[in-house]
């Protein structure tokens, strides 16, 4: 197949491009920067995309969007990550603008892609305590829930035009290259790791290997349609995640992080990314035939650490 990927220079996009090429597929990156070989350019904020570069492409995987969270422990990175009104607006608009542009462009093309795999996130479900959540569960009422609803709804023009549209709702990706695991490693390796608050909030994790596996599956399986949860079949609480990481690193995990600390540093973002509880199961993903490589958290952490 010939697959175009927005965000192909990012962590997930780069790994997906490598995997697809390894399986014999052709990959074209979609970038806002000056395009290189095997890339085409777009400018979502200006409503521009290189439609000629999309001719003959079979599927588009849409991963681009303003980063949510902080890039490092530097004061500047932490300050930039706080959710100001402008930050919230950019998080929402970067997803809605890009998805709308893609969906409308593909809907108007006669010789363009017929599949759009447009990423979403488990933030769709909001803060739900111990409730078991599947792809058929209602959306939540947090800011990220609003973002995910608008993000997915922006693909409607492609659905209306008869394209196969898939929304992978991605969970907490476990990789030392980014995200919760990367940010936690310095503290845990120093023996200062511990649960966030009570540790009873559910963290629906997934290894990067399986994120790539599910996306690859969504691209190549014609019967996969609609939302699919990209989370391991055995979610854990934050307390269980903490103990598993401590065992893998051989470090104690006895120091809890009181809620007021991250709330003071990160503001509302801490509530929606750290203390939110979402017990998400990949029901539709499993029903579609995908089998997760990692269903045990500790085994997955050992594989990457």
266-300 per-position pLDDT tens digit: 788 888 889 999 999 999 999 999 999 999 999 99
Rounded Cα distance, 232 and 56, in Å: 34
**Mean model confidence pLDDT for the chain:** 94
How many residues belong to the chain? Answer: 305
Q: Can you give the pLDDT at residue 131? A: 98
Q: Can you give the pLDDT at residue 74? A: 66
Sign of CA dihedral 84, 86, 90, 93: positive
Q: Let me know if 78 is exposed, middle or buried by CB neighbors in 10 A (0-12, 13-18, 19+).
A: middle
Residue pointed to by tokens 């969970």? 171
Do β-strands 39-43 and 48-49 pair in parallel, antiparallel, or remain unpaired? antiparallel
Q: Can you give the pLDDT at residue 200? A: 97
Q: Can you give the pLDDT at residue 265? A: 76
In total, how many domains does the chain have? 1
CATH number at residue 12: 3.40.50.720
Q: pTM for this structure?
A: 0.95
Q: How is residue 195 annotated by DSSP?
A: -
Which domain does 247 fall in, by range?
2-304
């Amino acid at each position: 197949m010939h697959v175009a990927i927005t965000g192909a220079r990012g962590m997930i996009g780069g790994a997906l491009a490598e995997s697809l090429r390894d399986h014999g597929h052709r990959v074209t990156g979609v970038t806002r920067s000056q395009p290189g070989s095997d890339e085409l350019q777009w400018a979502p904020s200006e409503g521009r995309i290189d439609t000629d570069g999309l001719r003959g492409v079979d599927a588009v995987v849409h991963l681009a969007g303003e980063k949510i969270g902080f890039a490092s422990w530097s004061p500047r990175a932490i300050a930039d990550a706080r959710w100001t009104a402008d930050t919230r607006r950019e998080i929402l608009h970067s997803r809605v603008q890009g998805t709308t542009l893609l969906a409308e462009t593909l809907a108007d093309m006669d010789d363009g892609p017929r599949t759009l795999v447009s990423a979403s996130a488990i933030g769709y479900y909001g803060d739900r305590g111990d409730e078991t959540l599947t792809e058929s569960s209602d959306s939540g009422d947090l800011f990220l829930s609003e973002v995910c609803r608008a993000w997915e709804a922006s693909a409607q023009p492609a659905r209306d035009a008869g394209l196969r549209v898939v929304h992978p709702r991605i969970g907490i990706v476990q990789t030392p290259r980014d995200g919760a695991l990367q940010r936690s490693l310095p503290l845990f390796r120093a023996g200062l790791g511990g649960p966030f608050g009570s540790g009873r909030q559910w963290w629906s994790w997934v290894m990067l290997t399986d994120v790539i596996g599910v996306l690859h599956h969504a691209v190549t399986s014609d019967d996969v349609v609609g939302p699919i949860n990209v989370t391991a079949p055995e979610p854990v609480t934050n307390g269980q995640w903490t103990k598993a990481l401590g065992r893998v690193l051989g470090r104690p995990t006895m120091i809890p992080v009181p809620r007021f600390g991250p709330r003071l540093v990160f503001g509302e973002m801490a509530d929606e990314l750290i203390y939110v509880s979402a017990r998400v199961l990949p029901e539709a993903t499993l029903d579609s035939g995908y089998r997760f490589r990692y269903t045990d958290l500790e085994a997955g952490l050992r594989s990457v650490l």
